[in-house]
A and B are shown apart, each in its own frame.
Chain A
Amino acid sequence: MGLYRTQIVIVTDILDVVQEDTFDKDGASVTSLIRKANISHGRLSKILKNLVSQGLLEQVNSDRASKYKISVTGREFLHAYRTFSEFTDGFGLTI
Protein backbone atom coordinates (compact mmCIF):
# COMPACT_ATOMS: atom_id res chain seq x y z
CA MET A 1 0.00 0.00 0.00
CA GLY A 2 1.41 3.40 -1.00
CA LEU A 3 1.94 6.24 1.43
CA TYR A 4 -0.45 9.19 1.40
CA ARG A 5 1.34 12.28 0.08
CA THR A 6 0.33 15.72 1.22
CA GLN A 7 0.26 18.61 -1.26
CA ILE A 8 3.61 19.92 -0.09
CA VAL A 9 5.25 16.51 -0.51
CA ILE A 10 3.93 16.28 -4.09
CA VAL A 11 5.21 19.79 -4.81
CA THR A 12 8.67 19.02 -3.42
CA ASP A 13 8.77 15.76 -5.39
CA ILE A 14 8.06 17.77 -8.56
CA LEU A 15 10.65 20.42 -7.67
CA ASP A 16 13.19 17.67 -6.96
CA VAL A 17 12.65 16.11 -10.38
CA VAL A 18 12.80 19.49 -12.12
CA GLN A 19 15.98 20.40 -10.25
CA GLU A 20 17.59 17.12 -11.24
CA ASP A 21 16.56 17.50 -14.88
CA THR A 22 17.56 21.18 -14.98
CA PHE A 23 21.17 20.13 -14.50
CA ASP A 24 21.09 16.85 -16.45
CA LYS A 25 18.79 17.58 -19.37
CA ASP A 26 18.37 21.35 -19.51
CA GLY A 27 14.85 21.15 -18.11
CA ALA A 28 12.19 18.60 -17.20
CA SER A 29 9.49 17.53 -19.63
CA VAL A 30 5.90 16.79 -18.59
CA THR A 31 6.38 13.10 -19.44
CA SER A 32 9.45 12.89 -17.24
CA LEU A 33 7.59 14.61 -14.38
CA ILE A 34 4.57 12.30 -14.64
CA ARG A 35 6.84 9.27 -14.48
CA LYS A 36 9.35 10.37 -11.85
CA ALA A 37 7.04 12.35 -9.55
CA ASN A 38 4.31 9.70 -9.89
CA ILE A 39 1.43 12.07 -10.59
CA SER A 40 -1.46 12.21 -13.06
CA HIS A 41 -1.35 14.58 -16.04
CA GLY A 42 -4.42 16.54 -14.90
CA ARG A 43 -3.11 17.19 -11.43
CA LEU A 44 0.42 17.91 -12.66
CA SER A 45 -0.82 20.56 -15.11
CA LYS A 46 -2.58 22.48 -12.33
CA ILE A 47 0.42 22.31 -10.00
CA LEU A 48 2.87 23.32 -12.74
CA LYS A 49 0.73 26.31 -13.66
CA ASN A 50 0.65 27.33 -10.01
CA LEU A 51 4.39 26.85 -9.50
CA VAL A 52 5.23 28.86 -12.63
CA SER A 53 2.87 31.68 -11.62
CA GLN A 54 4.44 31.76 -8.14
CA GLY A 55 7.96 31.91 -9.60
CA LEU A 56 9.22 28.59 -8.32
CA LEU A 57 9.53 27.14 -11.81
CA GLU A 58 10.37 28.67 -15.18
CA GLN A 59 8.72 27.42 -18.36
CA VAL A 60 11.04 27.14 -21.37
CA ASN A 61 9.76 26.28 -24.85
CA SER A 62 12.00 23.92 -26.79
CA ASP A 63 11.48 22.66 -30.36
CA ARG A 64 9.13 19.81 -29.47
CA ALA A 65 7.49 20.58 -26.13
CA SER A 66 7.54 22.78 -23.05
CA LYS A 67 10.16 22.10 -20.44
CA TYR A 68 10.45 23.35 -16.88
CA LYS A 69 13.47 24.67 -15.00
CA ILE A 70 13.77 25.40 -11.32
CA SER A 71 14.14 29.06 -10.33
CA VAL A 72 16.22 30.54 -7.49
CA THR A 73 13.05 30.82 -5.36
CA GLY A 74 12.28 27.18 -6.15
CA ARG A 75 15.72 26.14 -4.93
CA GLU A 76 15.26 28.21 -1.79
CA PHE A 77 11.90 26.58 -1.18
CA LEU A 78 13.44 23.10 -1.53
CA HIS A 79 16.23 24.10 0.87
CA ALA A 80 13.67 25.41 3.39
CA TYR A 81 11.54 22.29 3.05
CA ARG A 82 14.51 20.01 3.71
CA THR A 83 15.62 22.07 6.70
CA PHE A 84 12.20 22.06 8.34
CA SER A 85 11.58 18.47 7.37
CA GLU A 86 14.75 17.59 9.30
CA PHE A 87 13.45 19.69 12.19
CA THR A 88 10.11 17.86 12.38
CA ASP A 89 11.90 14.51 11.91
CA GLY A 90 13.81 15.38 15.07
CA PHE A 91 10.50 15.35 16.94
CA GLY A 92 9.48 12.09 15.31
CA LEU A 93 6.93 13.91 13.16
CA THR A 94 6.39 14.32 9.41
CA ILE A 95 6.11 17.81 7.95
Chain B
Amino acid sequence: MEFLLESILNLIGFVVGIIIGIFAYIGYNNTGSPVLFRLSLAFFAIGIGFGIIWMGYMIDSIYFEEGEINRGIQALGLGIQAIGYFFIAFSHTIKSFFPKSRYFRSVGILPLFFLSTMTIEHIIRSFSFILLVYGAIETFVSFLEGKQKGTLAVGIGLALLAFGEFIAWYSFVFPESILYSISIIIKIIGLIFLFVPVSKLPMRKIKLDDEFEDEFKDDFENHA
Protein backbone atom coordinates (compact mmCIF):
# COMPACT_ATOMS: atom_id res chain seq x y z
CA MET B 1 0.00 0.00 0.00
CA GLU B 2 2.76 2.43 1.02
CA PHE B 3 4.70 1.48 -2.09
CA LEU B 4 1.75 2.32 -4.34
CA LEU B 5 1.00 5.58 -2.53
CA GLU B 6 4.66 6.61 -2.68
CA SER B 7 4.74 5.93 -6.43
CA ILE B 8 1.57 8.00 -6.97
CA LEU B 9 2.85 10.86 -4.78
CA ASN B 10 6.19 11.03 -6.52
CA LEU B 11 4.68 10.86 -9.98
CA ILE B 12 2.24 13.68 -9.13
CA GLY B 13 5.10 15.65 -7.56
CA PHE B 14 7.21 15.20 -10.67
CA VAL B 15 4.42 16.31 -13.05
CA VAL B 16 3.29 19.27 -10.90
CA GLY B 17 6.88 20.44 -10.28
CA ILE B 18 7.89 20.27 -13.93
CA ILE B 19 4.71 22.00 -15.20
CA ILE B 20 5.02 24.88 -12.71
CA GLY B 21 8.76 25.05 -13.44
CA ILE B 22 8.15 25.32 -17.20
CA PHE B 23 5.53 28.01 -16.67
CA ALA B 24 7.86 30.00 -14.40
CA TYR B 25 10.69 29.62 -16.92
CA ILE B 26 8.47 30.89 -19.77
CA GLY B 27 7.67 33.85 -17.52
CA TYR B 28 11.36 34.46 -16.89
CA ASN B 29 12.07 34.21 -20.61
CA ASN B 30 9.41 36.81 -21.36
CA THR B 31 9.94 39.27 -18.56
CA GLY B 32 13.48 38.63 -17.30
CA SER B 33 12.20 38.67 -13.71
CA PRO B 34 14.65 37.12 -11.18
CA VAL B 35 11.68 36.07 -9.03
CA LEU B 36 10.38 33.91 -11.86
CA PHE B 37 13.88 32.54 -12.41
CA ARG B 38 14.12 31.47 -8.76
CA LEU B 39 10.62 29.95 -8.93
CA SER B 40 11.57 28.01 -12.06
CA LEU B 41 14.73 26.70 -10.34
CA ALA B 42 12.65 25.81 -7.28
CA PHE B 43 9.99 23.87 -9.13
CA PHE B 44 12.39 22.15 -11.51
CA ALA B 45 14.33 20.98 -8.45
CA ILE B 46 11.14 19.85 -6.68
CA GLY B 47 9.93 18.05 -9.82
CA ILE B 48 13.29 16.38 -10.47
CA GLY B 49 13.54 15.38 -6.79
CA PHE B 50 10.14 13.68 -6.89
CA GLY B 51 11.03 12.19 -10.28
CA ILE B 52 14.23 10.61 -8.96
CA ILE B 53 12.36 8.96 -6.06
CA TRP B 54 9.65 7.76 -8.44
CA MET B 55 12.35 6.27 -10.68
CA GLY B 56 13.83 4.59 -7.60
CA TYR B 57 10.50 2.93 -6.85
CA MET B 58 10.04 1.90 -10.46
CA ILE B 59 13.55 0.41 -10.64
CA ASP B 60 12.86 -1.57 -7.49
CA SER B 61 9.48 -2.84 -8.68
CA ILE B 62 10.87 -3.87 -12.09
CA TYR B 63 14.35 -5.23 -11.24
CA PHE B 64 14.86 -5.92 -7.53
CA GLU B 65 11.30 -6.48 -6.23
CA GLU B 66 12.39 -5.87 -2.62
CA GLY B 67 9.40 -3.64 -1.90
CA GLU B 68 11.54 -0.74 -0.77
CA ILE B 69 13.54 2.00 -2.44
CA ASN B 70 17.33 2.25 -2.34
CA ARG B 71 18.12 4.66 0.53
CA GLY B 72 20.75 6.49 -1.53
CA ILE B 73 18.28 7.28 -4.30
CA GLN B 74 15.70 8.36 -1.70
CA ALA B 75 18.23 10.69 -0.03
CA LEU B 76 19.29 12.14 -3.39
CA GLY B 77 15.66 12.83 -4.38
CA LEU B 78 14.83 14.38 -1.02
CA GLY B 79 18.01 16.49 -1.17
CA ILE B 80 17.10 17.92 -4.58
CA GLN B 81 13.55 18.63 -3.35
CA ALA B 82 15.00 20.45 -0.34
CA ILE B 83 17.00 22.66 -2.75
CA GLY B 84 13.68 23.53 -4.43
CA TYR B 85 12.07 24.38 -1.09
CA PHE B 86 15.12 26.50 -0.30
CA PHE B 87 14.59 28.58 -3.46
CA ILE B 88 10.92 29.15 -2.56
CA ALA B 89 11.97 30.28 0.92
CA PHE B 90 14.81 32.34 -0.58
CA SER B 91 12.34 34.16 -2.82
CA HIS B 92 10.62 35.41 0.32
CA THR B 93 13.98 36.92 1.32
CA ILE B 94 16.30 34.73 3.28
CA LYS B 95 17.05 37.46 5.82
CA SER B 96 14.20 36.44 8.12
CA PHE B 97 15.81 33.02 8.43
CA PHE B 98 18.46 34.31 10.78
CA PRO B 99 16.80 35.77 13.88
CA LYS B 100 18.50 38.82 15.36
CA SER B 101 17.65 37.96 18.96
CA ARG B 102 20.42 36.17 20.86
CA TYR B 103 17.80 33.98 22.58
CA PHE B 104 16.32 32.76 19.29
CA ARG B 105 19.78 32.12 17.91
CA SER B 106 20.61 29.85 20.83
CA VAL B 107 17.27 28.03 20.53
CA GLY B 108 17.83 27.74 16.77
CA ILE B 109 20.95 25.66 17.37
CA LEU B 110 19.09 23.06 19.48
CA PRO B 111 17.67 20.99 16.60
CA LEU B 112 21.24 20.37 15.38
CA PHE B 113 21.99 18.45 18.59
CA PHE B 114 18.83 16.41 18.24
CA LEU B 115 19.60 15.65 14.60
CA SER B 116 23.26 14.80 15.00
CA THR B 117 22.67 11.06 15.49
CA MET B 118 20.13 10.67 12.72
CA THR B 119 20.60 9.68 9.12
CA ILE B 120 21.05 12.06 6.19
CA GLU B 121 17.51 11.36 5.06
CA HIS B 122 16.08 12.55 8.39
CA ILE B 123 18.22 15.67 8.32
CA ILE B 124 17.06 16.50 4.78
CA ARG B 125 13.43 15.95 5.81
CA SER B 126 13.95 18.31 8.74
CA PHE B 127 15.42 20.99 6.45
CA SER B 128 12.54 20.54 4.00
CA PHE B 129 10.07 20.89 6.86
CA ILE B 130 11.66 24.14 8.09
CA LEU B 131 11.83 25.60 4.56
CA LEU B 132 8.23 24.61 3.83
CA VAL B 133 6.96 26.12 7.08
CA TYR B 134 8.85 29.32 6.32
CA GLY B 135 7.47 29.44 2.77
CA ALA B 136 3.93 28.73 4.01
CA ILE B 137 4.08 31.46 6.69
CA GLU B 138 5.38 34.05 4.23
CA THR B 139 2.72 33.06 1.69
CA PHE B 140 -0.02 33.38 4.33
CA VAL B 141 1.33 36.82 5.26
CA SER B 142 1.13 37.81 1.57
CA PHE B 143 -2.43 36.46 1.47
CA LEU B 144 -3.40 38.67 4.43
CA GLU B 145 -2.04 41.67 2.51
CA GLY B 146 -3.46 40.87 -0.93
CA LYS B 147 -6.46 38.62 -0.09
CA GLN B 148 -5.99 36.62 -3.30
CA LYS B 149 -7.45 33.12 -3.42
CA GLY B 150 -4.47 31.79 -5.41
CA THR B 151 -2.07 32.89 -2.66
CA LEU B 152 -4.23 31.15 -0.06
CA ALA B 153 -4.20 27.94 -2.13
CA VAL B 154 -0.38 28.02 -2.41
CA GLY B 155 -0.09 28.76 1.32
CA ILE B 156 -2.33 25.80 2.17
CA GLY B 157 -0.39 23.63 -0.29
CA LEU B 158 2.97 24.48 1.29
CA ALA B 159 1.53 24.05 4.80
CA LEU B 160 0.15 20.61 3.89
CA LEU B 161 3.50 19.60 2.38
CA ALA B 162 5.20 20.74 5.59
CA PHE B 163 2.67 18.86 7.74
CA GLY B 164 3.09 15.76 5.57
CA GLU B 165 6.86 16.03 5.91
CA PHE B 166 6.53 16.38 9.68
CA ILE B 167 4.31 13.29 9.96
CA ALA B 168 6.68 11.36 7.66
CA TRP B 169 9.55 12.31 9.97
CA TYR B 170 7.49 11.42 13.07
CA SER B 171 6.52 8.05 11.57
CA PHE B 172 10.11 6.89 12.04
CA VAL B 173 9.24 6.69 15.74
CA PHE B 174 6.28 4.39 14.96
CA PRO B 175 7.44 2.60 11.81
CA GLU B 176 4.60 0.08 11.54
CA SER B 177 1.77 2.59 12.02
CA ILE B 178 -0.47 4.18 9.41
CA LEU B 179 1.29 7.54 9.90
CA TYR B 180 3.50 7.26 6.83
CA SER B 181 0.54 6.52 4.51
CA ILE B 182 -1.32 9.50 6.01
CA SER B 183 1.71 11.71 5.41
CA ILE B 184 1.80 10.68 1.73
CA ILE B 185 -1.92 11.42 1.27
CA ILE B 186 -1.48 14.85 2.93
CA LYS B 187 1.45 15.62 0.62
CA ILE B 188 -0.56 14.61 -2.47
CA ILE B 189 -3.36 17.00 -1.39
CA GLY B 190 -0.70 19.69 -0.78
CA LEU B 191 0.68 19.29 -4.29
CA ILE B 192 -2.81 19.57 -5.78
CA PHE B 193 -3.37 22.81 -3.82
CA LEU B 194 -0.04 24.12 -5.13
CA PHE B 195 -1.22 23.53 -8.68
CA VAL B 196 -4.60 25.31 -8.26
CA PRO B 197 -3.50 28.90 -9.10
CA VAL B 198 -1.29 27.72 -11.96
CA SER B 199 -4.09 25.68 -13.53
CA LYS B 200 -6.12 28.88 -14.00
CA LEU B 201 -3.43 30.59 -16.06
CA PRO B 202 -2.90 30.22 -19.83
CA MET B 203 0.04 27.91 -20.63
CA ARG B 204 1.17 29.40 -23.91
CA LYS B 205 4.50 30.99 -24.67
CA ILE B 206 4.46 34.66 -25.59
CA LYS B 207 7.48 35.37 -27.74
CA LEU B 208 9.17 38.73 -27.56
CA ASP B 209 12.14 40.19 -29.34
CA ASP B 210 15.32 38.54 -28.02
CA GLU B 211 17.21 41.83 -27.81
CA PHE B 212 14.42 43.30 -25.71
CA GLU B 213 14.46 40.34 -23.36
CA ASP B 214 18.25 40.53 -22.99
CA GLU B 215 18.13 44.22 -22.25
CA PHE B 216 15.54 43.77 -19.52
CA LYS B 217 17.40 40.84 -18.04
CA ASP B 218 20.40 43.17 -17.74
CA ASP B 219 18.23 45.86 -16.19
CA PHE B 220 16.85 43.37 -13.69
CA GLU B 221 20.28 42.21 -12.69
CA ASN B 222 21.20 45.83 -12.03
CA HIS B 223 18.07 46.50 -9.99
CA ALA B 224 17.61 43.17 -8.18
Contacts and interface: CB of A to CB of B under 8 A. Distances in A.
Interface of B is mostly: helix
B27, B146, B155, B222: which has the most chain A beta carbons within 10 Å? Answer: B27
B88 A91 contact: yes
Interface string B130-150: 000000001111110010101
A86 interface: yes
Given A7-B223, A80-B31, A84-B27, A91 B151 contact: yes
Given A7-B216, A80-B206, A90 B197 contact: yes
Contacts of B146: 89, 92
B36 interface: yes
A12 to B, nearest CB: 9
Contacts of A89: 142, 146, 148, 150-151
7 contacts: A7-B222, A8-B33, A83-B201, A83-B202, A88-B36, A89-B148, A92-B146
B120 interface: no
Interface in A48-63: 50, 54-56
A86 B209 contact: no
Contacts, number: 103
A8 B32 contact: yes
A55 B210 CA distance: 12
B198 interface: yes
Nearest to B93: A93
B168 interface: no
A95 interface: yes
Nearest to A74: B208
B32 A90 contact: no
Contacts of A55: 209, 212
Interface residues of B, number: 42
Given A55-B209, A89-B146, A91-B91, A81 B154 contact: no
Interface of A: 6-8, 11, 50, 54-56, 73, 76-77, 79-81, 83-84, 86-95
A93 B92 contact: yes
B32 A93 contact: no
Contacts of B142: 89, 91-93
B39 A93 contact: yes
Contacts of A11: 216
A11 B223 CA distance: 14
Contacts of B128: none
Given A6-B223, A93-B142, A80 B201 contact: no
Interface in B136-175: 138-143, 146, 148, 150-151, 153-155
Contacts of A56: 212
B176 interface: no
